[in-house]
Amino acid sequence: MVQRETWATRTGFILAAVGSAVGLGNIWRFPFIAADGGGAAFLVVYLLFVAFIGFPAILVEFVVGRRTERNPVGALLELGGDVWKYVGGLFIVTGFVILSYYSVIAGWFIRYFLEGLRGSYVGRLAAYGEAGAMFGEVSTGLDALVLHTLFMAVTIGVVALGIRRGIEFATKAMVPSIVLLLVGLAVWASTLPNAGAGYEYYLSPDFGVILENWQELLPAAAGQAFFTLSLGMGVMITYASYLGEDRNLTRDAATIIGFDTGIAILTGLVVFPVITSAGIEPAAPGPNVIFISMTEAFANVTGGHLLGLVFFGTVVIAALSSAISLLEVVTAYVIDEKGVERWKAAIGMGGVVYLLGVPVTYDLVFLSLLDGFADGILLVFGALVLMLLVGWITPKFAVEELSKGIGDLGSIGQAWIWAIRVPIIIVLVVSLYLGVVEYVEFLTGDFTAWIEANL
């Protein structure tokens, strides 16, 4: 049997895990999901979810990975027995679904980068008419397909080369540059006329709205929290499986969550003031909001041309490090369980993912179809079953594993297990139920209407 690879440097793991977490979820998905959920009302529920469910959940994936030293399917098989391997199989399916549309969106960011190479963002906006029309033109069609192809090809290439050479180096420069850029843009956005309306929408929660809309807010926050932290499909299991026993997992979890949440909040601090000052209603945008607000921003700030290139370029790298983690799960499974060579596994699996993403470049209804399924259902279900396994079936090993690299946990270990066993599982069951209801509504409503109109 081949010797299992481990992280080349001590920081390699944390860099790769942050690289996986920070991506389009923070920059592209967070602002429009937040806007859709009422801004501040969503933000509150989301932050609570990250702290009280995301944090325990990331620890669950870490202990499962480090203990078993296997890919998610093998890990669950080892811990739970035969039936559990099907749950692991579900993780692989989730990886397929998410990466397929993720790559198309990453392609849009490449496109905006390339637009900046063609000329200034003021000039590009003028060429397309305005920001909405520009997005409409670049988001579907042959160009989108070509860039989806390019992005998947690069992702496959990095994964085929192996974790050490591939993943660790890609992440190092990305996080600091993205934080610096977002801070700078947030300061600039604060000087815009009518920025106040954006902050009002984003930052001042109306608790009445939360109580009234909790049935939409809960599944939206659950999906976003798991998506952005790369939880519920075994990425963190896979990464922790290459990890030594001396790491303090709680500290690593806090670092990852801190960076990830910070970057999402910062993105909101740029997007909301920019859109209200451009006269756009903050409650109604869609998956185009980051592109609209950022091109507006780069068309109007001094040095916007260069900043825009750096921004779009950095997001592409952030997306790449997340995409790598998605393909890594799928690939690690085939390598470990089927004994296929790494490069063959990466190309084969990546190829299937690529094909699944193609319809999204044809019509954005397929984005809702895939994203709604992965986020509203698959990730929440994945997290839920992991919690059931660790909370009720193998709690002893979990506490023991968590304490390695930390020392005696005292009652904290038990508190963690009990939080998982009852309250967290209840919240996840409710979120999952609501997510399924919403997805069925989409299928029978918007999606059916689309099919009738187009076929």
The residues of the shown chain that bind ligand PFF, judged by CB under 6 A, are 20-21, 23-26, 98, 227-228, 230, 233, 235, 322, 325-326
Complex with ligand PFF: residue 280 or 315, whichever CB lies closer: 315
CB of 157 to ligand PFF, least distance (A): 18
Complex with ligand PFF: residue 20 or 241, whichever CB lies closer: 20
- Cα separation, 72 vs 146, whole angstroms: 32
In DSSP notation, 160-200 reads HH-HHHHHHHHHTTHHHHHHHHHHHHHHHHTTSTTHHHHHH
CB of 246 to ligand PFF, least distance (A): 25
Complex with ligand PFF: residue 121 or 226, whichever CB lies closer: 226
Dig out the tokens for 215 from the structure.
Answer: 């049935």
Amino acid at 393: I
Complex with ligand PFF: residue 30 or 135, whichever CB lies closer: 30
- Cα separation, 274 vs 292, whole angstroms: 9
CB of 199 to ligand PFF, least distance (A): 24
The residues near 135 (Cβ < 8 Å, ≥ 6 apart) are 108, 288, 291, 292
- CA 350-93-386 angle, to 5 degrees, is 130
- CA 147-356-230 angle, to 5 degrees, is 85
CB of 98 to ligand PFF, least distance (A): 5
Q: What are phi and psi of 171, to 5 degrees?
A: -90, -20
Complex with ligand PFF: residue 96 or 199, whichever CB lies closer: 96
Q: At what angle do helices 163-171 and 174-189 cross, to 10 degrees?
A: 20
Using an 8 Å Cβ cutoff, are 245 and 393 in contact?
no
> Which three-class secondary structure state does DSSP give residue 302?
coil
Complex with ligand PFF: residue 254 or 283, whichever CB lies closer: 254
In DSSP notation, 104-148 reads HHHHHHHHHHHHHHHS-HHHHHHHHSSHHHHHHHHHSSHHHHHHH
Complex with ligand PFF: residue 26 or 276, whichever CB lies closer: 26
CB of 212 to ligand PFF, least distance (A): 28
Complex with ligand PFF: residue 53 or 192, whichever CB lies closer: 53
Complex with ligand PFF: residue 102 or 272, whichever CB lies closer: 102
Specify whether the backbone of 162 is left (phi greater than 0), alpha (psi in -120 to 50) or beta: left
Complex with ligand PFF: residue 250 or 322, whichever CB lies closer: 322
- Cα separation, 306 vs 120, whole angstroms: 8
CB of 230 to ligand PFF, least distance (A): 4
Place of tokens 């592409």: 316
Dig out the tokens for 335 from the structure.
Answer: 């390598």
CB of 430 to ligand PFF, least distance (A): 22
- Cα separation, 119 vs 135, whole angstroms: 16
Nearest residue to the partner ligand PFF, using Cβ: 25
CB of 58 to ligand PFF, least distance (A): 11
Q: What is the largest CA-CA distance in the chain?
A: 64
- Closest among 8, 50, 7, 412 to 262, alpha carbons compared: 50
Distinct helix (H) and strand (E) counts, the chain: 25, 0
